[in-house]
């Protein structure tokens, strides 16, 4: 597995985890980015937006544009990934005990 694939898997997992922790399971891309940074997973605005669109293509989040922001909301399938109930290639699996 390449370094970029590992990085993508961690970024996507961090985004889903961040959305799972938000009240209402959603937030704008800036809030998600800051939350991921607090986990030690820093991303540029372009990267967070691209990852959110990728997650939307997988049916894990919904994304809509509001002004200059993307608003992302976790879907039930995304929560299943966070909880380790569903595996999606391209997203880091949780470790035992997470």
Full-model pTM: 0.94
Class of domain 3-82: mainly alpha
Domain ranges of the chain: 3-82
Yes or no: say if 82 and 20 are a contact pair by the CB < 8 Å rule: yes
pLDDT at 94: 81
pLDDT at 95: 75
b/e burial code for range 22-31 (CB count within 10 A of at least 16 → b): eeebbbebeb
**Can you give the pLDDT of all 98 residues of the chain as single tens digits?**
899 999 999 999 999 999 999 999 999 999 999 999 999 999 999 999 999 999 999 999 999 999 999 999 999 999 999 999 999 999 999 877 66
pLDDT at 37: 96
pLDDT at 98: 64
- What is the rounded distance in angstroms from the CA atom of residue 79 to the CA atom of residue 25? 9
- What is the rounded distance in angstroms from the CA atom of residue 91 to the CA atom of residue 68? 27
């Amino acid at each position: 597995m390449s370094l970029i694939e590992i990085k993508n898997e961690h970024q996507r997992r961090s985004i889903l985890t961040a959305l799972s922790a938000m009240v209402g399971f959603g937030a704008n891309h800036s809030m998600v980015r800051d939350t991921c940074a607090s986990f030690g997973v820093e991303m540029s605005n372009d990267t967070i937006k691209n990852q959110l669109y990728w997650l939307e293509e997988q049916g894990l989040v919904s994304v809509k544009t509001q002004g200059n922001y993307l608003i992302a909301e976790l879907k039930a399938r995304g929560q299943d990934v966070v909880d380790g109930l569903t595996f999606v290639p391209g997203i880091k699996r949780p470790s035992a005990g997470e």
